[in-house]
Amino acid sequence: MAVNVAIVGATGAVGQEFLNILAERNFPIKTLKLLASARSAGKTIDYRSQTYTVEELTHDSFKDIQIALFSAGGATTKEFAPSAVKAGAVVVDNSSAYRMKDGIPLVVPEVNPEAIKKHVGIIANPNCSTIIMNVPVWPLHQVNRVRRLVVSTYQAVSGAGAWGLYELEQQMKSHAAGEPIKKELFPHQIVNNLFSHNTTIGPEGYNEEEMKMVKETRKIFGDSKIMIAATCVRVPIPRAHCESINIEFSQPMTPDRVRQILSKAPGVKLVDRIEENHFPMPLEASGQDLVLVGRIRQDISRDDGRGIEMFVAGDQIRKGAATNAVQIAEKLL
């Protein structure tokens, strides 16, 4: 069944990726409306041999729209998503605006697709780092309940938007030319450097990105008892986030059993070639929807056999944002 689709934030990095993925997956579109801010209205975008003119986002933009894919800031979503729902559309929102709101499903299709049925007009797309962790951890959790997660992230600059990529490129050019390096939007120099994720630190000492991973994972898994500690770091990599994950299971777990489970898990690709020292890398994760998993090994700091270490890489623009949202839209159909 073909449906009428609107993309909010169509000119942004994730908005553009929406279009790529909709085309790749042959999503059945009857009519397509591209929406953005007033400054982007009038631009043209090609999609499947047809040229579309970007329209200004207004409260009247959603007449006859059935699915609205939002890739805008939280303030924009809060303002316009209710208008889309009122017009009869189902909103799949990529911002953090509704993720932790009671009654709004927060969905990773490989984990909790059944939650989609509970929507009342809005479905939230989780944070990119949460998605990339949840896809490989969930199938393990189903077999042997996870008690505790300790995760450290290595997050690409494009996770901050197109400007993050631009700033890295400009600083790389300045460094190569021996010129002074200018900081514009990141709080610190990013080329030849890394720093704690540039979100506000709360009273408990964790930044917003870290707390998203904690709270969102508990909601998606439907398990408020999972203990989670996260450290999120911005690194000078253009695209694809990596994560080092330490897992404590309820019962003993072996690396071979983890590999066996993950080899059959949806959305996961094992990259665990020990003899070649070849494990997940952002370069290889970029441009694909699978989360790469490797460095699977026993946690030798404990003697009860319940600890596993692993390293993952995932494209935060695709699976961490646009692909996950399109998968939700597919489930809606």
| Strand boundaries in the chain, DSSP class E | 3-8, 29-36, 44-47, 50-53, 55-56, 67-70, 90-93, 122-124, 146-155, 195-196, 227-234, 241-249, 268-270, 291-298, 307-314
Residue-level pLDDT at 1:
84
CA 127 to chain centre: 5
DSSP state at residue 83: H
Structural domain 3-126+321-332, CATH architecture:
3-Layer(aba) Sandwich (3.40)
Residues of the chain with CATH 3.30.360.10: 130-316
241 assigned to active site: yes
Residues of the chain with CATH 3.40.50.720: 3-126+321-332
Which residues make Cβ contacts (< 8 Å) with residue 11, sequence separation at least 6?
A: 34, 36, 40, 43, 45, 54
Q: Are 167 and 198 in contact (CB under 8 A)?
A: no
Residue-level pLDDT at 162:
84
Indicate the pTM of the whole model: 0.96
242 assigned to active site: no
Which residues make Cβ contacts (< 8 Å) with residue 49, sequence separation at least 6?
A: none
- Out of 119, 141, 197, 241, pick the active-site residue: 241
User: Which residue, 183, 191, 279, 273, is CA-closest to 237?
Assistant: 191
Taking the chain, what is the end-to-end CA distance rounded to the nearest angstrom?
8
User: How is domain 130-316 classified at the CATH fold level?
Assistant: Dihydrodipicolinate Reductase; domain 2 (3.30.360)
Digit-by-digit pLDDT tens for the chain (333 residues) are: 899 999 999 998 899 999 999 999 999 999 999 999 999 999 999 999 999 999 999 999 999 999 999 998 889 999 999 999 999 999 999 999 999 999 999 999 999 999 999 999 999 999 999 999 999 999 999 999 999 999 999 999 999 988 899 999 999 999 999 999 999 999 999 999 999 998 999 999 999 999 999 999 999 999 999 999 999 999 999 999 999 999 999 999 999 999 999 999 999 999 999 999 999 999 999 999 999 999 999 999 999 999 999 999 999 999 999 999 999 999 999
- Out of 119, 128, 141, 242, pick the active-site residue: 128
How far apart are alpha carbons 168 and 72 in whole angstroms?
Answer: 22
How far apart are alpha carbons 138 and 220 in whole angstroms?
Answer: 10
How far apart are alpha carbons 123 and 114 in whole angstroms?
Answer: 12
